[in-house]
């Protein structure tokens, strides 16, 4: 079910409220993320006013999860020790009632990754954020993806996203040229962004981290949290892309655009469709 224009307007207002809460509360977001994305994910969180913590060692990560506002788990540079920590941390977060976000990077590429994501999904992430190929594969379909690259259109992944959301009682955010968010009942499309975003390393991973920041202040409304985070990315990406001359200048302009985003932008420039 796609929201009516009135429903979309209400969702934009709710997203704006969450934006204000992130700026006000500076939520602590624990990221167990890949080596490639650590820097940009931390910078994106800081630009939005959140507090990043790149705590991933099994000796402390599960304990730290109980202190965090949200936990984000990204399997981009997966290894056996990291997987052990991810499983323990996700279980700890779930037990403590701390929302956690899963980014199943290229989970369909190898047996090791497929098993890792199967075990992580059993620990009930509040939100799953992935590209179309990842989401299609996660639902058991055949995707055209190779490694971390998406070779499928977001529209092709919408049914898969709804199936995952219903089966796992989670929110699924499929990101691409036009994003799609669903909890299995409600759904919305998010437009905007820039064609330069895929040319900057780990922008998708950083988006998953930002989803965690909004989940931390959303009070169990994971659907609106995902929509709000993706909306901020879409608006900031569009602004940065309009001024950038290439991926290098886009990267710093994008951080500036996130930092300079006004709360009213979420309703005045709402990308929700």
What is the side-by-side strand order in the sheet with 28-32? 51-53, 28-32, 70-74, 100-103, 127-131, 171-175, 179-182, 187-190
175 marked as part of a ligand binding site: yes
Side-chain-facing half-sphere of 18: CA atoms under 13 Å:
30
129 marked as part of a ligand binding site: yes
Cβ contacts of 56 within 8 Å, gap of 6 or more: 31, 32, 33, 82, 85, 86, 89
Among 41, 36, 19, 98, CA closest to 64: 98
Question: Residues annotated in the binding site for substrate, as ranges?
Answer: 54, 202
| Binding site as annotated, residues for ATP | 129, 175
The annotation places the binding site at: 54, 129, 175, 202
């Amino acid at each position: 079910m796609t929201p009516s224009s009135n429903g979309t307007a209400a969702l934009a207002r709710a997203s704006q409220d969450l934006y204000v809460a992130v700026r006000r509360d500076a939520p602590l977001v624990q990221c167990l993320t890949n080596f490639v994305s650590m820097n940009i994910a931390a910078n994106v969180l800081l630009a939005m006013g959140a507090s990043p913590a790149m705590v991933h060692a099994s000796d402390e990560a599960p304990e730290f999860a109980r202190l965090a506002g949200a936990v984000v788990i990204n399997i981009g540079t997966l290894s056996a020790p990291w997987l052990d920590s991810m499983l323990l941390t996700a279980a700890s977060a779930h037990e403590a009632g701390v929302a956690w976000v899963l980014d199943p990077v290229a989970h369909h590429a190898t047996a090791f990754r497929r098993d890792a994501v199967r075990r992580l999904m059993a620990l009930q992430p509040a939100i799953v954020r992935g590209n179309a190929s990842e989401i299609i594969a996660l639902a058991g379909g055949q995707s055209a993806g190779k490694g971390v690259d998406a070779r499928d259109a977001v529209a092709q992944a919408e049914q898969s996203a709804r199936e995952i959301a219903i089966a796992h009682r989670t929110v699924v955010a499929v990101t691409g040229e036009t994003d799609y968010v669903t909890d299995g009942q409600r759904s919305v499309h998010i437009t905007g962004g820039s064609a330069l975003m895929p040319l900057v390393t780990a922008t998708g991973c950083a988006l998953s981290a930002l989803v965690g920041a909004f989940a931390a202040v959303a009070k169990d409304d994971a659907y609106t949290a995902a929509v709000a985070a993706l909306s901020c990315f879409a608006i900031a990406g569009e602004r940065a892309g309009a001024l950038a001359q290439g991926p290098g200048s886009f990267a710093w302009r994008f951080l500036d655009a996130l930092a300079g985003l006004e709360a009213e932008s979420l309703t005045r420039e709402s990308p929700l469709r």
